[in-house]
Structure 1
């Protein structure tokens, strides 16, 4: 059988959207036209009720009674839920207990849910919830890290990582310094707020359409709250309007409440938080109070480091144990500490429980290392970049948690960026500018990132996928990862397309669904493509082997004589494993020596011979482990590298600033989709810059979040993008056996934004001719910069 004239021209065209090619996000056009449906866009079924939350008016104390008569009689109200109405499990803590779905007695943060009300519309539910009254007995809240540390209030015990004898080296060292840095948290500010739509099923179960990064966890918690088996709960997620970690654990309470009302009332139920409620009721990135001491030689090479990281966790553990662990893992960033003591404290406060955010604690650790590099550079009078080079890991070194440094090509990447960005020339120009200008100062910084890729809880590093081939040659793809705008679905579809040598248009991407792939991990830790891509590849290769075995028996040809190529399958008389495109094209046109079947023809033929065309795939990351008792192991499969060079200008009279230029060179291994990867790098950098410059979370003395709306909380906009913004990929295949030797790209670029903060700090130091080490807490708002300028000019900060 040979190809027909109608398909001959297709063999002259490469497949479209295969792995390694830039390809648009699968929903890009729908995103910009507004036609991509999110949960709140779904057509509501008849009888749908809408849910609102009754909130605590105090941050800490005791709930004595709820007075809800006015709520019950309010217009449109259908039902009310209080703690006493919960049928089974009442605590929705994701790992450790401590997160009551509704308050029973103890109130732990301002705005904590006391009751939920279901009404005919969202507006009526909101109005009714406001009419409820709570009889509360207030107590003095603990609202900050310092108070929690004084009282030894921790959501989980402190943890320590140690290498060598840092205390002894510090005591004997000729050169030492100490510093501290307070880094505030960050609101996720996803475009789509928390939302769930629950539909009761006739078997007592429930289907929930949910905006979550972790469908399997939502499934588990909904089942526990309802007191039913997991198999009766189905969670479906097609897309999220942003997540950034804020929907990893904290989507679950709202899904549970929606499911409770749906099953209780036997009618669909929707819970959508408006922006102010979302900001008040959900956790953020953790504040960190970092302190450090270091010993170093006259060239700035570190001999010992003692770093204390204290996180503001809120009232419950949530994911704080692992988040502070990752901050501790990354408190070295890219630098070798021969002797180190790293301490991590998980401080309990009467505030909303903080949670995962892009980088998962890593950024708060990395910034401590970069502040240390800046301080040492000023102390020894060297350029900060040279001090960074001096302290970079070398191949074969070990981290403070015992992981050996392998495949460490970050120094080459940094030197390439140093050259391409013109760092040395620009450093001289910055100095000249600062000498000429009294009230404007410029700063420049080139900072690296070494970020570990894997969940640090080892068993979470697994993924599953399901692939069907239909008889027309189209392919259905499902996997456990969640699409939240980062391009995961596109990348995994490209992997499937590459495995079968098909155009990506032939791959049907379907919603994440606990009915299709069970027991999945959260889409987090930058591992979405690593885990789900490998699982999908595994399923494809199972199917390919079945097809090859069928071809072998049906056409009497060994697998080396078969190639999947340009939407077709070539079955030749000879070995064609290494044939190039020209040779394959010639074979395809040679019916005497090669059969050329359209992929759909092969699928139909296999089906007619009772060959299964469906397969599940699975992948678990190899080689990784971490022994918490000894604080040692190999928690990361590999490291992703990157570097950014940023230049800023500040006005010393107002504290206002501009980011003049940023150059980025980032390592993504062998890119599966360069366009998507560059977009992730750009977005991660801007979000990281926003964390450290404009996004300022503020609570009042009563524990209420004052910056609970876009009017009072400033995320970066297009106007904040650097005036010159250059982003490039560092082309080097991942030495580890990841999918097509790619590397993760979701979280590592976030920390490139630290280069902007370091440049601002450099500009502040220039106000005192670098004789004073500035204390510049984050976010470095104009107010904070102005205070820092005034301190260095008065000599109030640490003199060098």
Structure 2
């Protein structure tokens, strides 16, 4: 890892920018950190379990003794369109349009295509957990919850119990991971637990088993894209039209905002003169899909890089050359009319090409592929432009409360949740400087406030509160993206039952999946005047960078296909995400793959269906 050193002469009391260790690291490593289910049991505590239905879209005729929350988690409503060979879902919740200039495009190459991106399970180490403790007067209740969203947890519990929100106290000290999966779906558990505690008058606890958590809480939205791209023989993109379909599940949840973000990222880093995007949310009788790191952005950008790679192949040009030719420049307007200011993309791109010795590596790979018949290598570089913050602008605010006690200790309360990303550590660094400065000059305590990150930009970072934790976030996000694009595949039965309900059937990246040579550098001398201490978002943008692995794999497959005389090197082939080993092998197309029957006869029931 390469960091930018703190400026010479920076005071020793100024902790901003210094690589301090994660405040909870030692406690987490030795098992002393207290998570929700580690809280000692109350004397009269009850345990709650959720009852799941074996049928989807069904009515419960028998009244249960205690009304528990039931998640319906089975059959998907299917309509197979034989002429298209793809699936369509009956119910469409909402359609969103982005429409820009539709001028006459003149003579160009038009290339249609279709691309599917599978869903992803959050697989946080700590599953959903809630402890509800009724206080015995005026409907007051204390909730200890593993959630990213204390406000919704409080509001939902208050509404169900019929009490004002100020009677519900929600406590969150730390989460054992969240990744967006505990933004709204934690209320499935917390609301049921609160109701049980209210009815019984006793403390109630519920922590889901892994299979229960995977079955009912949803994950990243699967996407299907149908696109048409118009481009010149030089590789210059002149027009784009993409229809996006997402599997929303059985409720709206955050699917609308996720589709919005997918549409905002359908250009990734490329200036497209004529662009049209549509988004359709497909209602299905599966658990509602929800927020996941990237929030629709990775799906929109992966689709963009899919058609961009096909343009490069069709034109017979290096993919990195075509990508560079179409990139935005400083001051350009996006398709949603945002002016790009402080746009460091080309600088990041050039530095990455140089530091990775990209062209030398590419020559080595070409040589290796010519000399080896059954082993192939691939290489790819992919840019990222990620729009952070909420699309509803009034949500982009934050506050904090600092108590300075007479013994000199300080209590900092802020609106963020510590999920392992080191937020508490960064906030302590920021507030400590503010308090230190306040002790020297007559300044108000609000200078020690916490602040959300407010900036658009690339994954490489300027000086900020904690560069070492930021670099670790890049590594973690990249590896999670590796899982999304190459390993993690959700399998459903024809009746909609989830087969992959645990680590034995659902494979996430392990230690062996992490690259041995893994270099992360943070962009130097890149100020951001719009945020505290030049802060930029670090949690979500790096995830999509792992798509470079997906397209490097596709590059290697193309090399394998090209060695057969009956295959054209410019021939396009389909490889959906994730690029699992069996998909990779079958895509290579040789004498062995012809022995493998991949089609399903009409009279045969498939064991697994794509959702």
Q: What is the match of residue 248 of structure 2? A: 313
8 A Cα contact 2:384 2:545, kept in partner: yes
* Displacement of 1:13: 11
Q: Residue 53 of structure 1: SS of its match in structure 2?
A: coil
Q: Where in structure 1 are there 5+ consecutive unaligned residues?
A: 1-11, 73-79, 83-100, 111-139, 502-540, 550-558, 560-611, 622-636, 643-666, 795-800
Partner Cα separation in structure 2 for residue 613 and residue 755 of structure 1: 45
2:575 paired residue among 776, 788, 791: 776
Partner deviation per Cα, 1:581-629 (whole Å, 9 max, x = no partner): xxxxxxxxxxxxxxxxxxxxxxxxxxxxxxx9799958699xxxxxxxx
8 A Cα contact 2:430 2:450, kept in partner: no
8 A Cα contact 2:561 2:589, kept in partner: no
Q: Residue 452 of structure 1: SS of its match in structure 2?
A: coil
Partner Cα separation in structure 2 for residue 445 and residue 689 of structure 1: 14
Partner deviation per Cα, 1:734-781 (whole Å, 9 max, x = no partner): 333201112110000111111100101111111233332221111111
* Displacement of 1:264: 1.4
1:732 paired residue among 525, 544, 552: 525
Partner deviation per Cα, 1:11-69 (whole Å, 9 max, x = no partner): x9954671110011110001110110101000111010000011101123333335x5x
Partner Cα separation in structure 1 for residue 455 and residue 361 of structure 2: 33
Partner Cα separation in structure 1 for residue 558 and residue 260 of structure 2: 32
Q: Residue 441 of structure 1: SS of its match in structure 2?
A: coil
* Displacement of 1:732: 3.1
User: Aligned pair 1:345/2:280, yes or no?
Assistant: yes
Distance 1:463 1:431, change over 3 A: same
Partner Cα separation in structure 2 for residue 154 and residue 189 of structure 1: 29
Distance 1:405 1:218, change over 3 A: same
Q: What is the match of residue 602 of structure 2? A: none
Q: What is the match of residue 538 of structure 2? A: 745
8 A Cα contact 2:451 2:532, kept in partner: no
1:159 paired residue among 57, 74, 96: 96
User: Aligned pair 1:473/2:408, yes or no?
Assistant: yes
Distance 1:495 1:148, change over 3 A: farther
8 A Cα contact 2:79 2:89, kept in partner: no
8 A Cα contact 1:25 1:676, kept in partner: yes
Q: What is the match of residue 89 of structure 1? A: none
* Displacement of 1:174: 2.2
Partner Cα separation in structure 1 for residue 359 and residue 445 of structure 2: 59
1:81 paired residue among 57, 62, 67: 67
Q: Residue 178 of structure 2: SS of its match in structure 1?
A: coil
Distance 1:19 1:278, change over 3 A: same
Q: Residue 179 of structure 1: SS of its match in structure 2?
A: strand
Q: Residue 261 of structure 1: SS of its match in structure 2?
A: helix
Q: Which moved more, 1:329-338 or 1:172-181?
A: 172-181
8 A Cα contact 2:401 2:414, kept in partner: yes
Q: Residue 230 of structure 2: SS of its match in structure 1?
A: strand
1:301 paired residue among 231, 236, 239: 236
Partner Cα separation in structure 2 for residue 141 and residue 183 of structure 1: 18
Q: What is the match of residue 684 of structure 1? A: 477
Q: What is the match of residue 322 of structure 2? A: 387
Partner Cα separation in structure 2 for residue 202 and residue 782 of structure 1: 57
Partner Cα separation in structure 2 for residue 733 and residue 451 of structure 1: 16
1:790 paired residue among 573, 589, 599: 589
8 A Cα contact 1:293 1:305, kept in partner: yes
8 A Cα contact 2:52 2:73, kept in partner: no
User: Aligned pair 1:22/2:19, yes or no?
Assistant: yes
Matches of residues 245-644 of structure 1 in structure 2 within 5 Å? 245-501=180-436, 544=438, 548-549=441-442, 638-642=455-459
Q: Residue 252 of structure 2: SS of its match in structure 1?
A: coil
Partner Cα separation in structure 2 for residue 26 and residue 335 of structure 1: 40
Partner Cα separation in structure 2 for residue 779 and residue 173 of structure 1: 35
8 A Cα contact 1:670 1:742, kept in partner: yes
Q: What is the match of residue 659 of structure 1? A: none
TM-score, structure 2 as length reference: 0.90
8 A Cα contact 2:455 2:537, kept in partner: no
8 A Cα contact 1:469 1:613, kept in partner: no
Partner deviation per Cα, 1:378-410 (whole Å, 9 max, x = no partner): 111111001110010012221111111221111
Q: Residue 311 of structure 1: SS of its match in structure 2?
A: strand
8 A Cα contact 1:173 1:295, kept in partner: no
Distance 1:447 1:219, change over 3 A: same
Q: What is the match of residue 125 of structure 2? A: 191
Q: What is the match of residue 670 of structure 1? A: 463
Q: Residue 371 of structure 1: SS of its match in structure 2?
A: helix
Partner deviation per Cα, 1:535-589 (whole Å, 9 max, x = no partner): xxxxxx8xx39x844xxxxxxxxx8xxxxxxxxxxxxxxxxxxxxxxxxxxxxxx
Partner Cα separation in structure 2 for residue 286 and residue 734 of structure 1: 34
Q: What is the match of residue 705 of structure 1? A: 498
User: Aligned pair 1:221/2:20, yes or no?
Assistant: no
Partner deviation per Cα, 1:209-256 (whole Å, 9 max, x = no partner): 000001111001110111100000000000000000000001112111
Partner Cα separation in structure 2 for residue 81 and residue 64 of structure 1: 13
Partner Cα separation in structure 1 for residue 186 and residue 80 of structure 2: 26
8 A Cα contact 1:734 1:743, kept in partner: no
Aligned residues: 575
Partner Cα separation in structure 1 for residue 485 and residue 450 of structure 2: 39
Q: What is the match of residue 43 of structure 2? A: 46
1:764 paired residue among 551, 557, 561: 557
1:231 paired residue among 162, 166, 179: 166
Partner Cα separation in structure 2 for residue 783 and residue 218 of structure 1: 42
Partner deviation per Cα, 1:439-469 (whole Å, 9 max, x = no partner): 1111000111110111112221111100122
Q: Where in structure 2 are there 5+ consecutive unaligned residues?
A: 1-8, 563-568, 595-611
Partner Cα separation in structure 1 for residue 59 and residue 403 of structure 2: 55
Distance 1:496 1:141, change over 3 A: closer
Partner deviation per Cα, 1:143-169 (whole Å, 9 max, x = no partner): 5898997455123x1101011116x42
Partner Cα separation in structure 2 for residue 619 and residue 412 of structure 1: 27
Q: Which moved more, 1:15-24 or 1:402-411?
A: 15-24
Q: What is the match of residue 608 of structure 2? A: none
Partner Cα separation in structure 2 for residue 178 and residue 55 of structure 1: 42
Q: CA RMSD in A?
A: 2.4
Q: Residue 52 of structure 1: SS of its match in structure 2?
A: coil
Partner Cα separation in structure 1 for residue 86 and residue 379 of structure 2: 37
Partner Cα separation in structure 2 for residue 179 and residue 768 of structure 1: 20
Distance 1:33 1:744, change over 3 A: same
Q: What is the match of residue 177 of structure 2? A: 242
Partner Cα separation in structure 2 for residue 613 and residue 727 of structure 1: 36
8 A Cα contact 1:210 1:235, kept in partner: yes
Partner Cα separation in structure 2 for residue 16 and residue 697 of structure 1: 50
